Amino acid sequence: MGTAQEKRRQGAVWFKATASDNGGGCVEVSMRDEGVSVRDSKDPGGPVLHFSGQEWAAFIACVHAGEFDGTR
């Protein structure tokens, strides 16, 4: 699992899913050479979680497998 860090990357490009409903429950993602960074879209100056490429790939695989949608 990734760890919360206060380290900021200068010039990071953040994006969120185009399907976001702007209801305030979104996260933003920044791809980087070392992996992926994630932050709360409502608090862009707040904590950032950093994940290795392997950790992010495992998370995405679980999303696609439905492990977080309450149907399993």
Task: Report pLDDT for 70.
Answer: 78
pTM of the model: 0.71
Instruction: Please provide the DSSP assignment of 8-60 as one string.
Output: --TTPPPB--TT--SSS--EEEEEETTEEEEEETT-TTS-EEEEEHHHHHHHH
Interatomic CA distance for residues 38 and 60, integer angstroms:
13
Q: In this structure, what are the phi and psi dihedrals at residue 27, rounded to the nearest 5 degrees?
A: -115, 155
Task: Report pLDDT for 72.
Answer: 57
Q: Per residue of the chain (72 residues), give pLDDT as tens.
A: 444 444 555 678 999 877 776 666 788 999 988 899 999 988 989 999 999 999 999 999 998 999 988 765
Tokens of 63: 């999303």
Task: Report pLDDT for 3.
Answer: 45
Task: Report pLDDT for 5.
Answer: 45
